C-alpha cells in the first residue's frame, strides 16, 4: 500500500467546470482525447423534481451509463435532503435528464457535496456514486446506483459506510475513484470529516470479489489512516 500512497501524491484529478455566460446559458467544460471541449446549454439544466432546497454543489462528467456512446454530466445537489442528477448530452449543446436519485432526506443542509462514477466491481456496468452526509445510519454514507444495460435503468441503490454514519457521522467533501496501484481494480478513496477527531480518517476501499448486481460483492478496506494515529505508514 506504500505504492498507493506514493501514487496519491502525484495523482491529479481532472475537474469538470461549469459557469453561466451573459445570456444565462450554462457553459460546461469537459476534457476529451483531443483536448478540452466547451458546450453551451441554453437555459441551463432542466432540473427534475427539486430537492428541499436546490443548490448545485458539484458537477462531474465523462460517464456513459447506458452505453449508447453519448457522454453524461452528473450534478450534485447541495440542498437539504440531497439529490443527484444525470444529464445525457444528446445533441450539439443539448442535455436531457437521464436519471435522478430520490431525495435522500438528510438532516444536513450540505447533504450531497460530491458525486462520481466508476465501475468498482469491474463487471462492465458503470455505477453512479453519491456521497450523502448524515449522522443517520439509514441515510449517510456512499450510495451506489449501478446501471442495468439490459433493463436500461438504474438498479436499486446499495448503501456503503452506513455503519460509520451510525457510529459518528459521514461528512465528505471530495472522493476519488481510480486504479491507483495498477492491479486492474478501481479503488475508492475518501476522507471523512467526523464530528470528533476519533472519526477523522482517510480510507481506501475496493471490491475484491463479487458484483453489486449479484449482491455478493466483498467491500474490502485496503488502507485507513486516522487523525489521531501516532505515525503515518
The pLDDT, as a whole number, for residue 147 is 94
The pLDDT, as a whole number, for residue 232 is 62
Residue 128, beta-bridge partner list: 117, 145
CA distance 200 to 126: 29
Residue 102 lies in a domain: yes
Residue 64 lies in a domain: yes
The pLDDT, as a whole number, for residue 28 is 53
CA distances from residue 16 to 19, 81, 107, 176, 188 in whole angstroms, order as listed: 10, 24, 28, 14, 19
Residue 48 lies in a domain: no
The pLDDT, as a whole number, for residue 68 is 94
Residue 49 lies in a domain: no
The pLDDT, as a whole number, for residue 49 is 61
Using CB atoms within 10 Å of the CB of residue 169, give its burial: 0 to 12 exposed, 13 to 18 middle, 19+ buried. Answer: buried
Residue 206 lies in a domain: yes
CA distance 14 to 126: 18
The pLDDT, as a whole number, for residue 36 is 41
CA distance 134 to 127: 21
CA distance 224 to 228: 12
pLDDT means per 10 residues in the chain (233 residues)? 32 38 46 45 57 75 93 85 91 86 91 95 97 96 94 94 94 94 96 89 96 97 88 65
Residue 44 lies in a domain: no
Residue 54: count other Cβ atoms within 10 Å of its Cβ. Answer: 16
Using CB atoms within 10 Å of the CB of residue 146, give its burial: 0 to 12 exposed, 13 to 18 middle, 19+ buried. Answer: buried
The pLDDT, as a whole number, for residue 46 is 58
The pLDDT, as a whole number, for residue 233 is 60
Residue 176 lies in a domain: yes
Cα torsion at 15, 84, 130, 133 (round to 10°)?
100
* Domain hosting residue 218, numbered range: 57-226
pTM of the model: 0.81
CA distance 39 to 4: 35
Residue 41 lies in a domain: no
Q: How many structural domains comprise the chain?
A: 1
| Sign of the dihedral through C-alpha 134, 137, 142, 144 | negative
Main-chain phi, psi angles of 34, to 5 degrees:
-90, -10
The pLDDT, as a whole number, for residue 40 is 52
Nearest partner of 79 among 60, 54, 100, judged by Cα:
54
CA distances from residue 12 to 7, 176, 195, 222 in whole angstroms, order as listed: 10, 10, 28, 20
Amino acid at each position: 500500500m506504500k505504492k498507493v500512497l506514493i501514487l496519491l501524491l502525484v495523482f491529479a484529478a481532472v475537474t469538470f467546470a461549469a459557469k453561466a455566460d451573459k445570456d444565462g446559458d450554462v457553459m460546461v467544460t469537459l476534457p476529451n482525447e483531443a483536448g478540452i471541449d466547451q458546450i453551451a446549454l441554453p437555459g441551463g439544466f432542466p432540473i427534475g423534481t427539486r430537492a428541499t432546497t436546490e443548490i448545485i454543489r458539484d458537477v462531474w462528467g465523462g460517464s456513459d451509463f447506458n452505453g449508447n456512446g453519448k457522454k453524461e454530466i452528473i450534478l450534485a445537489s447541495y440542498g437539504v435532503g440531497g439529490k443527484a442528477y444525470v444529464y445525457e448530452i444528446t445533441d450539439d449543446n443539448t442535455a436531457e435528464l437521464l436519471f435522478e436519485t430520490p431525495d435522500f432526506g438528510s438532516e444536513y443542509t450540505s447533504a450531497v457535496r460530491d458525486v462520481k462514477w466508476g465501475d468498482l466491481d469491474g463487471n462492465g456496468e458503470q455505477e453512479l456514486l453519491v456521497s450523502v452526509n448524515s449522522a443517520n445510519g439509514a441515510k449517510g454514507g456512499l450510495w451506489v446506483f449501478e446501471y442495468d444495460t439490459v433493463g436500461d435503468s438504474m438498479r436499486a441503490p446499495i448503501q456503503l459506510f452506513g455503519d460509520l454514519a451510525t457510529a459518528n457521522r459521514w461528512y465528505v467533501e471530495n472522493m476519488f475513484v481510480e486504479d491507483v496501484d495498477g492491479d486492474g481494480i478501481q479503488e475508492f478513496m475518501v476522507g471523512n470529516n467526523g464530528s470528533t477527531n476519533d472519526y477523522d480518517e482517510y480510507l481506501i476501499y475496493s471490491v475484491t470479489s463479487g458484483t453489486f448486481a449479484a449482491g455478493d460483492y466483498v467491500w474490502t478496506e485496503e488502507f485507513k489512516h486516522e487523525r489521531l494515529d501516532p505515525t503515518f505508514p
